[in-house]
Amino acid sequence: MGPKSLAFRLFASAAAWTLVVIPIAAILLISLYRQAVERNFAARLNVYMTSLVAASTPESGDSPQEPANLGDPIFTIPFSGWYWQIKPLKGAKRPLYISDSLLDQQLELPSHDGISPDDTLTRRSYAPGPDDQNLRIVEREIRPGGDDAAAYSYAVAGDAAEIDADLAEFTTMLILALAVLGLGLVAATFFQVRFGLLPLRAIRRDLAAIRSGDAERLDGELPDEIKPLQTELNALIQSNRDVVERARTHVGNLAHALKTPLSVISNEARTHESPLSDKVVEQAEIMRTQITHHLDRARVAARSGVIGDVTEVTPVIEALKRTLERIYGERGVAIEVSTGSALKFQGEKQDFEEMAGNLMDNACKWAKGGVAVRAERVRGGETFTIIVDDDGPGLTKAERERAVKRGQRLDESKPGSGLGLSIVADLAHLYKGHFELEPSPNGGLRARLTLPAA
């Protein structure tokens, strides 16, 4: 799954979205939980505030009385983090009453920090407390003697460390849960992408089978979204076959239409004894050769693009070996063949026979006693090479360059038209292969032909 693949893009986008959404969700949940904890903590403080007001309100008089125990021993433990105090709202520097847990300390009130009261004359804030504590304070303005009486500040404070502890515990559990959820979502996304793209892998395998000749069309049940692609590909494959078949028909018709008049011209010219008739025969043969050459190139160019043509390499070479051994057996030429059994040529059998046959035939013509043919797959597996060695006289560099040109015969004593090696070069080029001549380790000539493998 490379960075340019569709699977990687789908997986990366989904994973990135998950990694963005989960932290945002975590921040939002932590914020909401903190608000809920603070509300619960404030409600607890309000309960203590109600108890404090009720316990300190006198039956008569304008000033509060000292409250009894609020019912929770936490207010009697020194510096427990839970405190209350009653203090005149204006004028007094020391509180009127304080909880036992404050000892000789007093609370830093929200009213002293300039915090305005709400509709219930209540102020809320965080403030430092004894023993470096962070306190959550609720302060309320009370007038025990009525609306015209002096106002007193009633304050209840609790240790905000409880809020932080609850929030820290919740944050830890939330992070662990969201981390597991995130990993689960990433894993699920990975498998979802792999599962969702399985039909495309099936199409790739089917196309490879068509290219290798093991199948002729895309078959099988595919999802509704990919069925149109399957239909169009099958139509394209059939259209390609039809185009190739029409090209072959036109090539055959053109060859027949041109060769018949040329044969008539040649036959008529041979009935006359004159330099003109000889020249006509000569030029007619040249025209016939050129027509055959260019029609063959057009025919092979059409065939080389067809999908699904595959030729087994070993059977063709073995058949050529048996034929050439019968032809050149009287000269004592031995042909040694070494090929891989799984090698396949991505092209038509007729063209492969023509290329391999010309190379082996040329080697047998010039060999003194032996020809070695070896076929092997090139590293990477997309091409394979046929190497034909002979122990003949060999060629110089300039002669090797001339040998692959059409009609070039380096020795007129040997039979042939001089077209064999040039035909091999042309066919190799049309199949996007490569052909070259080089010195052979056996002392003669080496022909190296590289072709596409199926």
Secondary structure string (H, E, C) spanning 340-386? CCCCEECCCHHHHHHHHHHHHHHHHHHCCCEEEEEEEECCCCCEEEE
* pLDDT tens-digit series, residues 102-134: 988 999 889 888 888 888 889 999 999 988 899
Confidence of residue 415 (pLDDT cuts 50, 70, 90): very low
Q: How many residues does the chain have?
A: 454
Q: Between 26 and 69, name the one with better pLDDT.
A: 26
Strand partners, 438: 446
Q: What is the mean pLDDT of residues 337-344?
A: 85
* pLDDT tens-digit series, residues 303-338: 555 555 788 899 999 999 999 988 888 888 899 999
CA-to-CA distance for 129 and 249, rounded, in angstroms? Answer: 102
Residue 416: is its pLDDT beyond 60? no
Q: What is the mean pLDDT of residues 236-249?
A: 77
Confidence of residue 414 (pLDDT cuts 50, 70, 90): very low
Angular region, 443: left φ>0, alpha ψ -120 to 50, beta rest: left
Q: Between 400 and 22, name the one with better pLDDT.
A: 22
Q: Return the axis-axis angle of helices 420-430 and 349-366, rounded to nearest 10°.
A: 150
DSSP code at position 134: E
CA-to-CA distance for 111 and 279, rounded, in angstroms? Answer: 126
User: Highest-confidence range of 285-289, 333-337, 406-410, 423-427, by mean pLDDT?
Assistant: 333-337
The reported pLDDT for the residue numbered 268 is 81
CA-to-CA distance for 14 and 192, rounded, in angstroms? Answer: 11
Name the token pair of 391: 């122990």
Name the token pair of 214: 């093991």
Hunting for tokens 């290798």 — which residue is that? Answer: 212
Q: What is the mean pLDDT of residues 26-36?
A: 94
Model's pTM, two decimal places?
0.49
80 touches 74 (CB < 8 A): yes
Let me know if 216 is exposed, middle or buried by CB neighbors in 10 A (0-12, 13-18, 19+): middle
**Residue-averaged pLDDT of the chain:** 83
Q: What is the mean pLDDT of residues 76-86?
A: 92
